[in-house]
Structure 1
Amino acid sequence: MSSTPNTEQASTSPRRRLSREERYRQLLDVAWRVIREEGTEALTLGHLAERSGVTKPVVYDHFGTRTGLLAELYREFDARQTALMDKALAASEPTLTSRATVIASSYVDCVLLQGGEIPGVIAALAGSPELEKIKREYEAVFIEKCRSVLAPFAGAIASAGLWAMLGAAEALSYAAASGDITAVQAKDELFETIAAMVSRNARGGPRGGLAVQP
């Protein structure tokens, strides 16, 4: 009598049912993988269901629409970026050099951690008024965080400069992600952009590497 394991029985053994939170995590992970391997245009709810090994109603139950899925992907990216920046700020010195380095490094690092997927998500966001609104809301929060972090060195920073800084951050990060420039080059250039913006706005306050006065 053969001692070979009953592979059919093993293959038909019931798998553990994922909790809603575990399924949500799985779907987002697969969604990022689809974007990385096939591009953003390939990311439909139906295709996500197929790649995840679930039925379409499961995916629709979690995200509702493709717009909802893209919004969740962007929210996850933003949350990761915020956590990375907050952790680095908490460990940084109260100097312009240190704080500007944190802003530049955390922004570029977060994009690189997500690889080439996030530019496609950003492009998709721009194609939908609903998604563009979500993106702008998160960008406004980032702008205000940077304004607060840099205020001790420049006083009130004009919004135009902060939005220009964000535009540079996106462009440099995506150039690094695509290999057009190195991560170090992206961080260095963004640091210089931030430092120059602060210098233009400074009105007799601390400059350069000076510490924040108590």
Structure 2
Amino acid sequence: MSSTPEKWQPPTKRIRLSREQRRQQLLDVAWRLVREEGSDALTLPRLSEEAAVAKPVVYDHFGTRNGLLIALYRDFDARQTAMIDAALEGSSPTLEGKAGVIATSYVDCVLAQGREMPGVLAALAGSPELEAVKRDYQLAFIEKCRKALAAFVGRRGIGPAGFWAMLGAANALSDAAATGEITAEQAQDELFETIVAMINRSHR
């Protein structure tokens, strides 16, 4: 007596990712590689293996290793921008509210990326492409802060040097928190005080 044949199942169809979805998948795998093995391990052939895609796909998206590293930097900054934008949108319309959000969000975003971002930046040291991209994001961040704090600035105003000093403090404090030299709370508190002091000077 023959057994009842199993019901036929069609073969599983591979889901085809859009170009943007594939790019994000590759970036996610690249971040994992940097986190687990360091930026030196990140090459386009290695990314191809880890993501289980053909090498031409990876080269089509990033072109070169520097192109991949720049894409990681852009990915980090895009998430940082979205995080700060959302926090500012929901913050109280006071100096303490805006300064607190800027300080907390900036430090939190750097810490959320762990040690991966310093590794990416180290791998790109001296790259003209990185300097151009960093400059664009720095100017955009300064303009965002200028708008968020505009209602609290005194008649003296705040020149470009003041905002560049604020950004320098934000980077130094975040890096110190990331390496464990200070706590996240200490970094956020000090950055908050730096922002408030900058505003207070504009009233003198």
TM-score w.r.t. the length of structure 2 is: 0.86
Unaligned residue ranges in structure 1 (runs of 5+): 1-11, 204-214
How far off is 1:73 after superposition?
1.2
Query: Deviation at 1:15?
Result: 4.2
Identity %: 68
Q: Give yes or no for the alignment of 1:70 onto 2:43.
A: no
RMSD (Å) for aligned C-alpha atoms? 1.8
Partner of 1:168: 169
Q: Distance in 2 between matches of 1:123 and 1:144?
A: 26
Question: How far apart, in 2, do the equivalents of 1:123 and 1:157 lie?
Answer: 32
Once the two structures are superposed, what CA deviation does each residue of 1:22-67 show, in whole Å capped at 9, x if it has no partner?
A: 3212100011111111212222112211221222211001111122
**Matched residues in 2 for 1:83 and 1:17: separation?**
28
Q: Does 1:128 align with 2:106?
A: no
- Encode CA deviations 1:155-206: one digit per residue, 9 max, x unaligned: 4311111111111111111222222221111101111111111112225xxx
| Match of residue 146 from structure 2 | 147
Change (3 A) 1:125 1:147: farther
Can you give the 5+ residue segments of structure 2 that lack an aligned partner in the other structure? Answer: 1-10
Deviations 1:73-120, CA, capped at 9 Å, x for gaps: 111111111111111111111111111001001101111222211122
**1:158–1:201 contact (8 Å) kept in structure 2:** no
Partner of 1:38: 37
Question: Does 1:49 pair with 2:63?
Answer: no
Give 1:127 deviation, angstroms. Answer: 2.1
d(CA) in 2 for partners of 1:157 and 1:123?
32
Q: Which residue of 1 aligns with 2:110?
A: 111
